[in-house]
Amino acid sequence: MPGNTAKAAVLLSVFLMSIVHCGHSEEGVCTKSDDGVKCSEDNSVRLTRLNGELVGNVQTITDGDRKLEMKTLNMKPLVFEIENFLTEEECDYIKAAAVKTGLESSQTMAHSMSKNQNVDLMDLNHDGELDIKEMKITIENGYDIFLEKEDILDMYSTLELDTNGDTHISREELSKIKPKDLFTYLHKVGSRSPREALPLQ
């Protein structure tokens, strides 16, 4: 089973589970405290939000008789990775269900930049350049990392991307950067702040 398939499926499953806080059930109400989850009825379904601690933190969890390692990849949104959590059959089922409901491949920044199409995809005002807001959206859509204006200006300076210093990135300027260099830079930014963390691939 391809590693990326398993990781993607686990990330999707765990992310969906981790965003659910304690809820209401027909039997009663569950509440969360420092001591864990308490429900008004013993037979209530119990579900709580997992604690990520820090990006890179590894926790040991059990699934039946299996011991698995759960690694925190991102804090906001909270994302975990549990390798080999799903079977090959479960992965195939999730992929088939996703395709059936209309899931399509993502147009990531690295992919679009390599084909020199990024400005067309993220140039919201169609002026042929990416302003800071458009670059922010481009990075969010392509890498799931959230940068402030200062971070983007620092990226321009570090990667020598904004050659004329106007804070607008043209198609020509964009074509000079390698996707790998951009990814490496964003990974370093993510290492400094859990809010901006990006898993190294």
**Which pLDDT tens digit goes with each residue over 132-158?**
998 888 888 777 788 889 989 999 999
Which residue ranges of the chain lie beneath pLDDT 70?
A: 1-32, 34, 36-47, 104-121, 190-201
Predicted confidence at residue 73, as pLDDT, reads 86
Q: Which residues pair with 74 in a beta bridge?
A: 79
Q: Which structure tokens are listed for 50?
A: 């997992």
Predicted confidence at residue 90, as pLDDT, reads 92
* Torsion, Cα of 146, 151, 154, 160 (10° steps): 20
Predicted confidence at residue 97, as pLDDT, reads 87
| 141 residue type, one letter | N
Predicted confidence at residue 20, as pLDDT, reads 43
Measured between alpha carbons, how far is 147 from 118 in angstroms, rounded to an integer? Answer: 18
Q: With 0-12 CB in 10 A as exposed, 13-18 as middle and 19+ as buried, what is 123? A: middle
Predicted confidence at residue 195, as pLDDT, reads 45
Q: Do you find a cis peptide bond into 194, omega within 30 degrees of 0? A: no
